[in-house]
Amino acid sequence: MSKFLPPSAFAADGEYKLLPFNFAKLDGDHYVATNMAGEFVTLNRGELQRLVSHELRPEEALFRDARAKHFIEVNGDRSARDLLALKTRTRFQRLPNFTNLHIFVVTLRCDHSCPYCQVSRQSEDRAAFDMSREIADSSLDLMFRSPSPALKLEFQGGEPLLNFELVRYVVEKAERRAITEGRELEIVIATTLSLATSEILEYCRDHRILLSTSLDGPADLHNRNRPRPGRDSFERYMQGLQQAREIVGFDRVSALMTTTQHSLSRVREIIDEYVTHGFDGIFLRPLSPYGFAIKTKAIDAYNLSRWLAFYFEGLEYVLELNRAGIPFREHYAALVLQKMLTSNDPGYVDLMNPAGAGIAAIVFNYDGGVFASDEARMLAEMGDMTFKLGNVLESSYEEIFLSDALLGALEESFTLSAPMCSDCAFEPFCGADPVYSHAVHGDVVGRKPSSDFCRRNMAIFRKLISMMESDSSTKDIFQSWVARC
């Protein structure tokens, strides 16, 4: 007797039920429909009407596509809903591991004076703004309470190298505990590299520390965006980059940029700068509404439409480079595409649901304050303590992670139930950012029609889908980006 049913057992008779999905217009008569797992189909208005009216026939390509992607369920076959449930569960597989990223703000001192800085930085001689060993010890205790088998420890500032003695202390203590407890440990230092010495870089090499740096573009733009005494920010960065790559390792040094008003007309030059110096991608980041970006009014220097024009010009140029044989990615698009083209969530905090604040990343400030995210810490520097969860010297792990400030924000901003998110076709690709919503709109849900967070992401989602559907070679490039994630 055959172990398998004949093909006829799986044939569809044309009758089908609709499984949950949402839809949105892309442009003109063109629509996209998405389900809970992030599977999507593009179709015109007539096809959408026929789909929801149960008029599709088994011999049609759209019928087969909708069935394969779990938009419809044919009579007698429950596999579609079972697979839909499995893929949806996969989207949330990170939740049991809870907090992975632990940010230690070891100092607010900095040798740069960037007008867009999101932190209320202090001058180099303000040692009162350094983290103490006592606070570091308590922070480490909380970090190792996380159930995550893999922990990421990131040092931020200010400029962390100005308190490198404490960095050493924390690194070595964390390494010993990771070995004792059988944890994986990844360590990152966010630094300008302007103060990096051979001794510091050799230490980073010996302890396999990654370096996250900042490069805003060509020399004149970088120096304008990231000024320091001597007006040599770019020159010192390039010296530090070369030395860091030689000592720590070429692929152990990454870079981020921030878009200012002076960047908007120069996206190709910025990308060329990254290509010239051997980086394999770029993260085209807008300004964030925190810290000095507010105080210096840098955040008001351009609006969303100008940034989107900058971003899309950059994205098209990155595709040109790929077609010319230069492998290079735009990192934000790659993160979104991973959510669009796979069932895996990359765990990028700004695109997580439930929100990544607290449950994906936590911040231990130099003074012992614990914050739900780096943005929450920046908001606190502006005097808003809404997302301060406690203090490492006074609060228990349970008091911090079960606080109303955290759980309330996570519950209210959960996109599967939040107003205008729950019925949005782009919900599977997006995330919740209650800190941003609070900072801009005064509540953790935010006003979606006027939210730049929503409008920015929806514009990017629409663009990526349209680009993939209109050109198969573009989709091939995008899939190669996802394969490298």
Share of residues in the chain with pLDDT > 90 (%)? 81
- Residue 292 has what pLDDT? 46
Lowest mean pLDDT among 32-36, 104-108, 372-376: 372-376
Residue whose tokens read 């839909």: 84
- Residue 123 has what pLDDT? 56
pLDDT surpassing 70 at residue 239: yes
Quick check: 139 and 115 in contact, CB under 8 A? no
Whole-angstrom distance, CA of residue 140 vs CA of residue 123: 27
Domains and CATH numbers, the chain: 14-91 (no CATH), 97-400 (3.20.20.70)
Average pLDDT of the chain is 92
Residue 177 carries which side chain, given as an amino acid letter? Answer: R
Whole-angstrom distance, CA of residue 222 vs CA of residue 214: 9
Quick check: 231 and 223 in contact, CB under 8 A? yes
pLDDT tens track for 118-147 = 555 555 556 679 999 999 999 999 999 999
- Residue 78 has what pLDDT? 86
- Residue 391 has what pLDDT? 98
The model's pTM: 0.92
Quick check: 327 and 318 in contact, CB under 8 A? no
Degrees, nearest 5: CA angle 247-253-254: 170
Degrees, nearest 5: CA angle 207-210-214: 145
| Residue 300 binned pLDDT confidence (cut-offs 50, 70, 90) | low
The per-residue b/e assignment along 272-311, b for 16 or more CB within 10 angstroms, e otherwise, is ebbeeeebebbbbebbbbbbbbbeeebbebbeeeebbebb
pLDDT tens track for 62-104 = 999 999 999 999 988 889 999 999 999 998 998 899 999 999 9
Q: Computed over its alpha carbons, how large is the radius of gyration of the chain?
A: 24
pLDDT surpassing 90 at residue 318: yes
CA 479 to chain CA centroid, Å, is 18
The per-residue b/e assignment along 77-106, b for 16 or more CB within 10 angstroms, e otherwise, is eeebeebbeebbeebeebeebebbbbbbbb
Whole-angstrom distance, CA of residue 327 vs CA of residue 341: 19
pLDDT tens track for 141-154 = 999 999 999 999 99
- Residue 346 has what pLDDT? 92
pLDDT surpassing 80 at residue 296: no
Which CA distances in Å does 423 have to 36, 336, 415?
Answer: 11, 19, 9
pLDDT tens track for 258-269 = 999 999 999 999
Quick check: 320 and 272 in contact, CB under 8 A? no
